[in-house]
Structure 1
Amino acid sequence: MSRRIVLATRNEHKVHELRQILSAVCRDLGLEIVGAADFPEVPDVPETEVTFAGNARLKAEALAAATGLPALADDSGLAVEVLGGCPGVFSARWSGSHAGADARRAEKDRANLTLLLEQVADVPEEHRGAAFVCAAVLAIPGQDSATCEGRVTGRLAYGPRGTNGFGYDPVFIPDADPARTLAEFSDTEKNAISHRGNAFRAMEPVLRERLGV
């Protein structure tokens, strides 16, 4: 089996983040992480499921089938209590679909943030609870897929703060450190508590079991 493992994302922020989170297990197993951008001939997979796990499974299994490599995918988003768990699986397109999303990611993130903050502008502090949720899926050709989940709880800020993050990071204040938004954390600090970090750390023993030599 190839010692490469492909991440089912063209988002370079995610690729960078997951390389950091999975660095130890990949080093131990001799795995090289590559992104979906290394396979431009493989089309993007529409996220047609209504759960994070369902969308992650679609992406991982499609990429594994197209490349013949083990594939990791995640689907994640922000669940705001006062919005009944929304944006949820629609987090990345909360303000609408955006053509050329990769080239205009910063613009899309700003639009999503602006809309969300407008929707909760009058919501008092005690009702601004939210959680980041992530489902991670490992797909290996010829094997059943494995799913792990992670989350981090917190609340919404009244405006964006910080520059070291993407998506909704600038408006999410984790319960673990209520003085800062995730965008004010260093990469190492964020990975230690984040929903994506928790989901992929839960995936480590699965990787060791299935891809160990």
Structure 2
Amino acid sequence: MSRVLLATRNAKKLVELRRIVGAEVTVLGLDDLPPFPEEPETGATFEENALAKAVQAARETGEIAVADDSGLAVDALNGMPGVLSARWAGRHGDDAANNALLLAQLGDVPDERRGAMFVSAVAMAVPGAEPVVVRGEWRGRILRAGSGANGFGYDPLFVPAESDEAGDGRTSAELAPAEKDALSHRGRALAVLAPQLLAAVRAR
């Protein structure tokens, strides 16, 4: 079966990509292949970080590699935490600490000014070809306390615009996986990239 490397150790991101590309492609993670020295994320934008990760992974492994860099851009914080989202509280991937810090920083911000968006840049690198990168955005607002057990990261604090339009106010962490795939920043970016990804996999 054809395969692609998602340059991550995040099991939940692997599950998301597997749902979106379907059964035709086997999606591997970094833990499924021999390790290599991973370059630090030093880009100033989501696109720069995603491209760097994908290009390095393809170069080191010879696989078609996909990498995403994503995060939360809060209006009242001038777009932060942005590319620092995963390590906003100081330690990479500490969701509870990141959420607690964000809530503290927004403590005095009124409800009407708590707008935000999730951003995802997804890059694909095929050995011997020019890499490509696409971007997905998902508008919403930040709650004053988390709700929901699905998802990860800032999902429990983020109410998508679609939830407000539907009148149910569900957070990203309260959506079913298929609902989230259809709406989310990463789902939107991957939907744009998927035809190119499948074409590259079939051409190998």
TM-score, with normalisation over the residues of structure 1? 0.90
CA distance, structure 2, for counterparts of residue 31 and residue 188 of structure 1: 18
- 2:64–2:126 contact (8 Å) kept in structure 1: yes
- State yes or no: 1:31 paired with 2:25: yes
Q: State the partner residue of 2:116.
A: 130
Q: Residue 63 of structure 2: which of 58, 69, 73 is its match?
A: 69
CA distance, structure 2, for counterparts of residue 49 and residue 3 of structure 1: 31
Consecutive unaligned residues in structure 1, runs of 5 or more: 99-104
Q: Residue 84 of structure 1: which of 78, 82, 88 is its match?
A: 78
Q: Residue 184 of structure 1: which of 165, 170, 174 is its match?
A: 174
CA distance, structure 2, for counterparts of residue 204 and residue 191 of structure 1: 13
Shift of 1:211: 2.9
Q: Residue 207 of structure 1: which of 173, 176, 197 is its match?
A: 197
- State yes or no: 1:139 paired with 2:133: no
Shift of 1:21: 1.7
Amino acid at match of 2:74: V
Amino acid at match of 2:148: G
Q: State the partner residue of 2:9.
A: 10
Sequence identity of aligned pairs in percent?
47
CA distance, structure 2, for counterparts of residue 203 and residue 90 of structure 1: 24
Deviations 1:55-102 (A, max 9, x none): 00111011101110100000000000010000000000000134xxxx
- 2:148–2:171 contact (8 Å) kept in structure 1: yes
Q: State the partner residue of 1:55.
A: 49
Deviations 1:86-145 (A, max 9, x none): 0000000000134xxxxxx4xx10000000000001111110000000000000110000
Q: State the partner residue of 1:102.
A: none
Return structure 1 stretches of 4+ with deviation > 4 angstroms: none
Shift of 1:40: 4.2
CA distance, structure 2, for counterparts of residue 82 and residue 118 of structure 1: 13
The number of residue pairs the alignment matches comes to 199
Q: Residue 153 of structure 1: which of 139, 142, 146 is its match?
A: 139
Shift of 1:210: 2.7
CA distance, structure 1, for counterparts of residue 34 and residue 199 of structure 2: 30
Q: State the partner residue of 1:101.
A: none
Consecutive unaligned residues in structure 2, runs of 5 or more: none
TM-score, with normalisation over the residues of structure 2? 0.93
Shift of 1:209: 3.4
CA distance, structure 2, for counterparts of residue 208 and residue 184 of structure 1: 30
CA distance, structure 1, for counterparts of residue 178 and residue 189 of structure 2: 16
CA distance, structure 2, for counterparts of residue 3 and residue 17 of structure 1: 18
SS at match of 1:176: helix
